[in-house]
Chains A and B, each alone.
Chain A
Amino acid sequence: MMSVTISVVETINLRKTYLLGKVPVNALQGVNLKVESGDFIAVLGPSGSGKSTLLNLIGALDKPTEGKMLIEGVDISTLNDNQLADLRRRIGFVFQFFNLIPRFTARENVELSMSIADVSRVERRKQAEDVLETVGLKERMNHKPAELSGGEQQRVAIARALANNPRFLLMDEPTGNIDSKTANEILGLIKRLNEEKGVTIIMVTHDQRLATQAKRAVQMFDGVITREIVN
């Protein structure tokens, strides 16, 4: 008997068409991708290649036009808005522009994602300190984003993404907005999370150098995957 393992993320002939003004844009034209637990995959491609659209679909922020977008075996097309919101709580988002809430401190930003997921106050506090320690920012957890450097802000964003023990981290150009030295540190952190804590990571980037650090990389062009590299 064959044992069936369910992929964390699986896309089957995924298509997405949206309207740019009145012009239909075929952002994704049949993407097939599987991400297993413990993976570290980089999605490479120039701007307009459809990688951001793919990221939005994997993040359950949007629904496909055609094909299947499975997260842990569940087709997101079949979910309503509330179910999608529940699903997103199990996905750790890291955005290029950090997207922290400016009026909250680092700790409060991390706690926010947990309070959305109904985690109790006491547990939230403890978990926030733990993940901030993981990203090496425990000492500065009572600072607001404006008082933190770009690298530090991105660490807070990663801590926030980790807070709810997500099935995978979804990163959109995580080093796109910080200097190269800090970018290396962040990349080191991401690799460590993957290797030591077994966190599944899907990272979108246009930086070839970054892609070499991932376990595997897929190259996108004009809405399809053109190449897959296993490092």
Chain B
Amino acid sequence: MKPRDVFSYSFSAIRLRKLRAGLTTLGVVIGIAAIVALLSISQGLQATITEQLQKGFATDTLIVSTGGGFGPGMGGRTGADSGFRLLINYTQMINGLSPNITTSIAIIQRAGFIKSGNITRVTTIVGVDFAEYSDIYSSTFVNETGNIPLIPTNETVVVGKRISDPWKNSTLFCSADDDVEIKWTNATNPFQPLNETYTGHVAAVLKEIGGFGVGPSDSSVYIPISKAESFFGTDECNMIIVKLKNDDKATIDSVSEAIKEAFSNEVSVTSATAVLNILSSVFSIIELFLGGIAAISLLVAGIGIMNIMIVSLMERTREIGILKALGMKGRTVLMVFLGESAIIGLMGAAIGIGSGWVLANVVALIFHGGGVFMEGNQAAAGAGAGGMTITPVLTPTVFLGALAFGVGVSVIFALYPAWRASKLKPVEALRYE
């Protein structure tokens, strides 16, 4: 029997029992839809986070910080037990370590407050060298209004978009040319915390960045590094950002090693690439986990298919007898049965991929709505990470994988009933009532 005839015979058998075939297909649809929805959402999430990290990170930079791991150092220091202090003027020493280093800058940051009019907001105060910082983060440390002075005065302040416009409407908290009060609580002596304040002048408001990471943030306030030194009363920095000539892995590795060696392993050196790698491996595990859960539902569907095929086998024993008496070979009978389950699997997978995709987009839409809400809260708290939009991603791998998995599971679970059908003795099958 020709494959096309086998197919149309299988199809005619399915059409005869529409409801039953439909319900069996539904099982596959649900399983595949769950897999596709979960995977495309998590891949979309990964793409979003990666993209935002890349925005915030710049791949050709290294972050030198104290302590054992990657600490973006929000607020207090992450000092190691050994008492090692990462000083601001280490940048010159780092610059001399490798010809692959373009420049390096120190960053001091503290949790603090910014006051404009009668409103005080929580923020992160970041002390940087404006000229070099805008050189490293040339795409994100960019003014929307006002100007970022390369040689700032002590009073110069640059604010992130969410500081200027926290409510995302025309009501601005502050804008360029405003005077604001910068405040932090010096708790060096925990029994006698000291509030320190000065009046700054907003020179520029940054363009919206939207990302998160180590680079510029929408909800930070930037002051000159020299001012930060005196204001926070320290010569220690939270991190040193090292800009490299390129982002080759070899360059990153050799410079990382050189820096660690220079500081006798007292510092940790983190590259954006390394963080992205860790992130992607974490996401692989999450995807595997989610995919596994969804796969279980598909296995249940597979058992349903097996059940249906066994019932179908019993109902059609006589029919199989007729086919065999007409000269159909055992393996053709096998193909007829496998064909039926393959058709169910294919239809289920196709519908499942479609509905999974729709489901992923609906979830993303809900997520996005929630994101806006969250962002509102965070902006009010002054730590806004920017709204996160997940665009579900349906990669060809997921698409083809889901298709193959749907058909595969259906066929595998039909193997046993199909094999039994193919082995029926014609005389006995014909006698079957």
Tell yes or no: A229 within 8 A of B by CB. no
* Interface contact B318-A116, CB-CB below 8 Å: no
Interface contact A103-B324, CB-CB below 8 Å:
no
Residues of A within 8 A of B319 (CB): 101
The listed residue (B322, B328, B425) touching A85 by CB distance below 8 A is B328
Residues on the A chain within 8 Å of B1, using CB? 115-116, 118
* A87 nearest CB across to chain B (Å): 8
Interface presence of B363 (CB below 8 A): no
Give the residues in chain B near A61, CB-CB below 8 Å.
324-325, 426-427, 430
**In the complex, chain B residues whose CB is within 8 Å of the CB of A101:** 319, 322
**CB of A62 closer than 8 Å to a CB of B:** yes
Please determine whether B332 and A116 come into contact, CB atoms closer than 8 angstroms: yes
Across the interface, do A81 and B322 meet the contact criterion of CB distance under 8 Å? no
* Known A61-B430, A101-B319; contact A113-B16, beta-carbon cutoff 8 A: no
Within 8 A of A (CB), among B280-327: 318-319, 321-327
CA of A85 to CA of B334 in the docked complex: distance in angstroms?
14
Are A117 and B327 in contact, CB atoms less than 8 angstroms apart?
A: yes
Contact between B325 and A115, CB atoms less than 8 A apart: no
Asked if A149 lies at the interface with its beta carbon under 8 angstroms from chain B, I say: no
**Which partner residue on chain B sits nearest A91 by CB separation?**
B327
Q: Which of A104-147 contact B (CB under 8 A)?
A: 104, 112-113, 115-118
Q: Given A103-B16, A104-B12, does the pair A112, B430 have CB atoms closer than 8 Å?
A: no
User: Considering only CB atoms, which chain A residue lies closest to B330 in the complex?
Assistant: A81
Smallest distance from the beta carbon of B72 to chain A beta carbons, Å?
68
Chain A hits for B15, CB < 8 A: 103
With a cutoff of 8 Å between Cβ atoms, the chain B residues found around residue A160 in the complex are: 326
Neighbouring B residues of A103 by C-beta, 8 Å:
12-13, 15-16
Q: Are A115 and B327 in touch, CB under 8 angstroms?
A: no
The yes or no answer to A99 lying at the interface (CB within 8 A) is: yes
Interface string of B102-138 (1 = CB under 8 A from A): 0000000000000000000000000000000000000
Is B328 in contact with A116, judged by CB distance below 8 angstroms?
yes
Interface assignment of B420: CB less than 8 Å from any CB of chain A: no
CA of A88 to CA of B15, assembled, Å: 29
Closest B residue to A90 by beta carbon equals B327
A89 at the B interface (CB under 8 A): yes
A90 CB, min distance to chain B CBs, angstroms: 8
CB of A86 within 8 A of CB of B430, answer no
A116-B323 in contact (CB<8A): yes
| Assembly CA distance A229 to B323 (angstroms) | 35
A61-B430, A99-B430 are known contacts. Are A82 and B322 too (CB-CB below 8 A)?
no
With an 8 Å Cβ cutoff, the count of chain A residues facing the other chain is 26
Nearest chain B residue, comparing its CB with the CB of A164: B327
Chain B residues, CB < 8 A from A90: 327
Q: Which residues of B contact A116 (CB under 8 A)?
A: 1, 323, 326-328, 332
A79 CB to nearest chain B CB (Å): 12
In the complex formed, the residue of A with least CB distance to B322 is A99
A 82-102 contacts with B by CB, 8 A: 82, 85-90, 93, 95, 99, 101
User: Within the assembled complex, what's the spacing in Å between the Cα atoms of A102 and B307?
Assistant: 23
B5 contacts which chain A residues (CB < 8 A)? 115
- Tell me if A64 counts as interface (CB < 8 A to partner B): no
A82 CB contact (under 8 Å) in B16, B318, B330: B330
Give the contacting residue for B329; candidates A59, A82, A112; CB below 8 A.
Answer: A82
Residue of B nearest to A89 (CB): B327
Contact yes or no, B2 A115, CB < 8 A: yes
Which of B1, B327, B329 counts the most A-chain CB atoms under 10 A from its CB? B327
Question: Is the beta-carbon distance between B427 and A89 smaller than 8 angstroms?
Answer: no
- Give A104 to B16 CA distance when docked, in angstroms: 10
- Residue in contact with A113 in the complex, picked from B327, B329, B430, CB distance below 8 Å: B327
Which of A86, A101, A104, A164 lies at the interface centre, i.e. has the most chain B CB atoms within 10 A of its CB? A101
In Å, the complex CA distance between A88 and B327 comes to 5
Chain B positions within 8 Å of A99 at CB level: 318, 321-322, 325, 430
In the complex formed, the residue of A with least CB distance to B326 is A113
B318 (CB) vs chain A CBs: closest residue: A99
Given A61-B426, A99-B322, also A118-B2 (CB < 8 A): yes
Task: Give bound CA distance, A170 to B322, whole Å.
Answer: 14
Q: Give Cα A81–Cα B331 distance, bound, in whole angstroms.
A: 10
State in angstroms the CA–CA spacing of A113 and B326 once bound together. 6
B16 (CB) vs chain A CBs: closest residue: A103
Kindly report which residue of chain A lies nearest to residue B323, judged by CB atoms. A116
Within 8 A of A (CB), among B327-344: 327-332
User: How far is B427's CA from A81's CA once the two chains are assembled, in angstroms?
Assistant: 13
A56: CB under 8 A from chain B? Answer: yes
Query: Which B-chain residue is minimally distant from A120 (CB atoms)?
Result: B2
Tell me which residues across on chain A come within 8 A of B329, comparing CB atoms. 81-82, 85-86
Whole-angstrom distance from the CB of A170 to the nearest CB of chain B?
10
Taken together as a complex, chains A and B put the C-alpha atoms of A93 and B327 apart, in Å, by 10
Q: Name the contact of A88 in the complex, choosing from B325, B330, B332, B425 (C-beta under 8 A).
A: B325
How far is A59 from B430 in the complex, measured between Cα atoms in Å? 13
Which of A56, A62, A85 meets B327, CB within 8 Å? Answer: A85
Q: How far is the CB of B350 from chain A (nearest CB, A)?
A: 24
Chain B proximity of A202: nearest CB distance (Å) = 15
- The CA of A115 and the CA of B50, in the complex, are separated in Å by 57
- Chain B contacts of A62 at CB under 8 A? 425-427
30 of the cross-chain contacts (CB-CB < 8 Å) are: A56-B427, A61-B325, A61-B427, A61-B430, A62-B426, A62-B427, A81-B330, A82-B329, A82-B330, A85-B327, A85-B328, A86-B329, A88-B325, A93-B325, A93-B326, A101-B319, A103-B13, A103-B15, A112-B9, A112-B323, A112-B326, A113-B326, A113-B327, A115-B1, A116-B1, A116-B326, A116-B332, A117-B327, A118-B1, A118-B2
Q: Which residues of B contact A (CB under 8 A)?
A: 1-2, 5, 9, 12-13, 15-16, 318-319, 321-332, 425-427, 430
Other A-B contacts than A99-B321, A103-B13, A112-B9, 20 sampled, CB-CB below 8 A, are A61-B325, A61-B426, A61-B427, A62-B425, A81-B329, A82-B330, A85-B324, A85-B329, A85-B330, A86-B329, A87-B327, A88-B324, A88-B326, A99-B430, A103-B12, A113-B327, A115-B9, A116-B327, A160-B326, A164-B327
